[in-house]
Amino acid sequence: MHVLVMNSGSSSIKYELFDMDHATTLASGLVERIGEERGRARHHLGDDEVTEDEPIPDHDDGFRRVVAALDRAGLGEELGAIGHRVVHGGERFAEPTVLDDDAVEGIRAQIPLAPLHNPANVTGIEVARKLRPDLPQVAVFDTAFHRTMPPHAHRYAVPVEWYERHGVRRYGFHGTSHAFVAKQAAHHLGRPLEEVDLITLHLGNGASATAIAAGRSVDTSMGLSPLEGLVMGTRSGDLDPAVVFHVQREAGLEPAEVERMLNKQSGLKGLCGDNDLREIEHRAEAGDADAILALATYTHRVRKYVGAYLAALGGADALVFTAGVGENSPEVRERVLSGLEPLGISIDAERNAVRAPEGVVAIHDQHSTLSVLVVPTDEEREIAEQTVAAVTEQPSTG
Ligand code: ADP
């Protein structure tokens, strides 16, 4: 079966077409700057690369370009299903869900919980259902893997009606990635997923840590929204909530402005002006004080979560690094784990030099009681696999 995976953002559509029978990628691409003066669509079709530099007024036009590109390459015919990445599934969606009108309404109902993400996901779903009503379509939720968190991990210590009426609780995100690397790690360890305890560190532009007991998420660093937890490219991560009221009062900022600044102007960018870790590493090497501080703050936060989750789990079989930074930065991995020998964690400098591995690479040394693994993530592939599983279980759609 061929499965198209779509990740729709507010001004972009990222896609990848998989041949699930041969575990290969047939095509991929990015439609960006939708609704802006100058749009761009880039399609990788086998060895061909096609770029369209034209205005793309809306997602409808953007998706038509994807369909047209696949058709031109003769890849549209065999399409068996479309899998959509959806950021927030709230309390309703614990599983990948075959989309009918009711499910789409259910996703729309989560918009108050994810006003920055779900609207674009819904738009992508609507456009794809309109243009390819013949195909089963599945929503795969970033929150779903974390639905196994026990209440003591997902509840905040706030008035109970905030939870009951307004859904205020920890949901967690990046679930597709944490689930994918957990499976890969268990496979590498030669053990069933249901028997392994892991701490997975997804360190990309967004970043989150997850504690996994017996293969299931039991705690994660992102919360009601993807803003909580680790220091990220442009998001603050953990913060005293009083900071929000303080800057509203003292700097005269409106709530929406504070929200925007915590999401877009904070994290590494807030600390040193850059959000690309490569650039920050270069600056730090050259002695730039802001970059040195940003790197130290970033890695200190990850270390704290490793310690917290080791305690929460009562020990673990392996620590997993993944995503752009986790897979590519020996320096970050070294800083996060140096000096943790008393906790049973010790890495091998030579093995840790690995960047962009094709598969799982172990970087611990013989003294380490925990395995430390670098595992390339592939969220699109995981969405494709979950899409196939969902349509095979329930072939009829609304
Ligand atoms: P996204 O969350 O957008 O999918 P990625 O997982 O691609 O992000 O991660 C992006 C981050 O990975 C950026 O901060 C980038 O600087 C970092 N990164 C990519 N390659 C390297 C590298 N070789 N060394 C250090 N950081 C890297």
With H, G, I as helix, E, B as strand and everything else as coil, classify residue 371: strand
Residues in contact with 322: Cβ distance below 8 Å, sequence separation at least 6, in sequence order: 177, 181, 200, 201, 202, 203, 374, 375, 376, 377
Confidence of residue 395 (pLDDT cuts 50, 70, 90): low
150-206: pLDDT as tens digits: 999 999 999 999 999 999 999 999 999 999 999 999 999 999 999 999 999 999 999
Confidence of residue 49 (pLDDT cuts 50, 70, 90): very high
- Average pLDDT of the chain? 96
pLDDT, residue 76, reads 83
Ligand 1, atom nearest to 332 Cα: 25
Active site residue 142: yes
Ligand 1, atom nearest to 202 Cα: 6
Ligand 1 shell residues, CB under 6 Å: 204-206, 233, 276-278, 281, 323-325, 328-329, 355
Taking CA atoms only, the protein residue closest to ligand 1 atom 22 is 328
Taking CA atoms only, the protein residue closest to ligand 1 atom 13 is 276
For residues 108 and 97, the answer to whether their CB atoms sit within 8 Å is no
288-311: pLDDT as tens digits: 999 999 999 999 999 999 999 999
With H, G, I as helix, E, B as strand and everything else as coil, classify residue 5: strand
Separation of alpha carbons 210 and 173, rounded Å = 10
Nearest to 28, CA basis, from 53, 3, 9:
3
Half-sphere exposure of 365 (CA within 13 A, CB side): 12
- Interval between CA 395 and ligand 1 midpoint (Å): 37
CB neighbour burial string for 20-57, b if at least 16 within 10 angstroms, e if fewer:
beeeebbbbbbbbbbeeeebbbebbbeeeeeeeeeebe
Question: Which runs of consecutive H residues, i.e. helices, occur in 47-97?
Answer: 59-72
Separation of alpha carbons 378 and 365, rounded Å = 26
Ligand 1, atom nearest to 275 Cα: 14
- Interval between CA 204 and ligand 1 midpoint (Å): 5
Task: Say which CATH architecture domain 191-379 belongs to.
Answer: 2-Layer Sandwich (3.30)
247-262: pLDDT as tens digits: 999 999 999 999 999 9
Confidence of residue 398 (pLDDT cuts 50, 70, 90): very low
Domain extents in the chain? 2-141, 191-379
CATH 3.40.50.150 correct for 2-141 = no
The residue from 71, 134, 142, 197 that is catalytic is 142
Separation of alpha carbons 27 and 42, rounded Å = 11
Taking CA atoms only, the protein residue closest to ligand 1 atom 12 is 324
**Residue to mutate, 32, 202, 278, 295, ligand 1, most ligand atoms under 8 Å from C-beta:** 278
Ligand 1, atom nearest to 277 Cα: 16
Q: How many CB atoms lie within 10 A of CB 144?
A: 23
pTM, two decimal places: 0.95
